[in-house]
Structure 1
Amino acid sequence: MFSPADFPTPTLVSVNGVELEVFETGQENAGNPIVLCHGWPEHAFSWRYQMPALAAAGYHVIVPNQRGYGNSSRPADVTDYDIEQLSGDLVVLLDHYGYEDAIFVGHDWGANVVWGLTLLHPDRVSKVISLALPYQARTEKPWIEFLEEFLGSDYYFVHFNRQPGVADAVLDQNTSRFLRNLFRKNVPPAPPEPGMMMINLARAEASLGDPLMRDDELAVFVSAFEKVGFTGSINWYRNLDRNWHILADVNPIIQQPALMIYGDRDTIPKSENLTEFVPNVDVVSLDCGHWIQQEKPEETTRAILNWLEDQNAA
């Protein structure tokens, strides 16, 4: 059983005008880096089950709390959280360790950043592993306009942009309840209820499904967000249209070997055209929801290590 006390002690690393709180293991494997990027509203701690196994397999495992999270910097300007800045942090993090490139693994928003990093800085990424979020092809309209048209103004991506500060305040006031209601597994499928999903979760008295993690694990996430609030992390969403413009003239094809890991019960749909944009991709599906590496830790770790072994043997 994993204890939060076993999680590595972090260091603060100066990158790209900010400081990142970085957790490491496998430092004896210098020269073989793998960088794990968390999603929203998460923390480097979400990779606690994968880190020891990757280090044991010979990797130098580098896990940052990205800007806006944990004890990493939280710049005030919304534009400080666009894809240029978020990917730039990871590039300078590689520079800090003296690495030309690395394997990058991302879950949820972390996957979005890793896909963007690979588009903007392809020479710094050797392989891509994405959990939950497949490559998002650039839409004809800016993303928020596109999502508003299809999913409405209450869809949380749209709400975060159109009503800045409203959701942040509700989540800040109900941090523990929100995270307890969000981090669930075996949630029965149901049609979406009216209103803004994240605000509804923050106010809901009852939790659906089963707890994703033990109380002492959940406390790591709760204490982190109680300390810093949600605005920095939500600002990632407020740059979706800015990112749409930044990526306008970038070659949209990912050439690196890639692994896409889906949760079969995730509400994020699987990509129907993934191989058009990521021709060298392998796909694994696990019987779980959205929080893949925490819900199915052993299966996730095995899928990653088996794929890396196959890549190294090729």
Structure 2
Amino acid sequence: MTFAVTEHTVKTARHTTGYLACGAQAGPLLIFCHGWPEISLSWRHQLPTFASLGFRCVAPDLRGYGRSSTYTRVEDFAQEVIVQDMLELLAALGRERAVWIGHDAGSMVVWNIAAHHPDKTVGVASLTIPYLPQGFTLDSLVPLVDRKTYPEAEYPVGQWDYICFYHESFDRACAAFDANPRNVIKALFRKGNPDGKGKPSRTAAVRKAGGWFGGPPFPDLPHDPDVISEQDLEAYAAALTRNGFFGPDAWYMNYNANNTAYSRRAVNGGKLSMPALFLHGAYDYVAETMTSKLAEPMRRDCSDLTEVVVKSGHWMAQEKPAEVNAALAMWLARKLPDYWPGEPKGEMIDTP
């Protein structure tokens, strides 16, 4: 038995958000925010699981993705406007607060909601990307690089070189992804490899290589079934082909221009007091938090922080869904017992 996942849309005067929903309408609300270059589908393993526990689960397509509005100006993908999209979604759902759960770029969104709108936040959880109170910018990231893996003379910005590539060659970056979104997904969505520990990530030499894989075209690799099925692959590819990569890539162009100024306006100086959960990817070598100092600002500024290590790569919710679900459920039960639902209610459907 599993709960049905249904498609919905919220339209306001400024933006349209498509989202998936699952679980009893009156259940305590969990909102899941995906990363780059994903869509709401990336939470397919979490929505029915937490619906079965009695939660109301919602996963939006974030700005520029899937069934949500996209735009033609880089500045339309700043964090402040994306956070506003989520607050409009929350209001349309008839709720005052939610537990916000994010991955990758979606983590930046949920951390910003927690920092700027603690009154809208019961708790906040992030997969792979820790909280950076000063904003997810190169100025914040580079001092935290593990210089044993990335000697400064050879890798001045460490694994974050790909962000510089966006800033210096944005049109080239978008064109390389747009040339074959299906191959992009197959090349990127791969399980974690323990053999990569201590070795520089591919993202540390993107400018030198002229692109992620030395420039277009992306290699035609077999998809990794431990992360996505053929059906999932087609859904991702269709969404990215329809919308293009300008919107998803434009998120990176607002890091320094908007996030730092925005971060300065956070409530309580950016310090978070609500329960927070961070899931480390043991084999995530871009958002590497196991040996670097990347998680230290989060530990300093989150007063009620729980940390769990998941033996996965970057695409954690899809590669290791059972482990992710267990960590989230345990945190919700222990840290937010009053938010834990009673008996699950709602329409259920039989599955094979």
Normalising by structure 2, report the TM-score: 0.80
Q: Which has the higher contact order (CA 8 A, sep 6+)?
A: 2
Specify the alignment match of 1:42 in structure 2.
Answer: 38
Uncovered stretches (5+) of structure 1, i.e. residues with no partner = none
Q: What's the offset of the Cα at 1:201?
A: 7.9
Specify the alignment match of 2:321 in structure 1.
Answer: 297
Specify the alignment match of 1:8 in structure 2.
Answer: 5
User: 1:270-281 residue pairs with structure 2 within 5 A?
Assistant: 270=289, 271-281=295-305
Within the alignment, does 1:165 sit opposite 2:171 as a pair?
yes
Within the alignment, does 1:129 sit opposite 2:125 as a pair?
yes
Paired with 1:156 and 1:248, the residues of 2 have a C-alpha distance of: 25
Find 2:217's aligned residue among 197, 200, 203: 203
Q: 1:98-156: CA deviations, max 9, x gaps?
A: 111100000011011111111111111110011000112327xx934666893279822
| C-alpha spacing 1:62/1:246, structure 2 compared with 1 (3 Å) | same
Paired with 1:123 and 1:15, the residues of 2 have a C-alpha distance of: 22
Paired with 1:16 and 1:275, the residues of 2 have a C-alpha distance of: 39
Specify the alignment match of 1:174 in structure 2.
Answer: 180
Within the alignment, does 1:24 sit opposite 2:21 as a pair?
yes
**Which segment is superposed worse, 193-202 or 156-165?**
193-202
Uncovered stretches (5+) of structure 2, i.e. residues with no partner = 143-154, 290-294, 339-352
CA RMSD after TM alignment: 2.6
Q: What's the offset of the Cα at 1:200?
A: 3.9
Specify the alignment match of 1:216 in structure 2.
Answer: 231
Paired with 1:70 and 1:47, the residues of 2 have a C-alpha distance of: 14
Specify the alignment match of 1:269 in structure 2.
Answer: 288
CA contact (8 A) 1:83 1:113 kept: yes
CA contact (8 A) 2:47 2:57 kept: yes
Specify the alignment match of 2:344 in structure 1.
Answer: none
Paired with 2:242 and 2:270, the residues of 1 have a C-alpha distance of: 38
Q: What's the offset of the Cα at 1:31?
A: 4.8
Within the alignment, does 1:308 sit opposite 2:332 as a pair?
yes
Q: What's the offset of the Cα at 1:197?
A: 5.3
Find 1:247's aligned residue among 227, 238, 263: 263
Specify the alignment match of 1:155 in structure 2.
Answer: 161
Q: Secondary structure at the match of 1:98?
A: coil
Paired with 1:306 and 1:80, the residues of 2 have a C-alpha distance of: 37
CA contact (8 A) 2:5 2:48 kept: no
| C-alpha spacing 1:72/1:199, structure 2 compared with 1 (3 Å) | farther
Q: Secondary structure at the match of 2:336?
A: helix
Name the aligned partner's letter for residue 220 of structure 1: A
Q: What's the offset of the Cα at 1:96?
A: 0.6
Q: Secondary structure at the match of 2:270?
A: coil
Specify the alignment match of 2:249 in structure 1.
Answer: 234
Q: Secondary structure at the match of 2:296?
A: coil
Paired with 2:223 and 2:67, the residues of 1 have a C-alpha distance of: 31
Paired with 1:8 and 1:286, the residues of 2 have a C-alpha distance of: 26
Paired with 1:117 and 1:198, the residues of 2 have a C-alpha distance of: 31
**Which segment is superposed worse, 227-236 or 8-17?**
8-17
Name the aligned partner's letter for residue 277 of structure 1: D
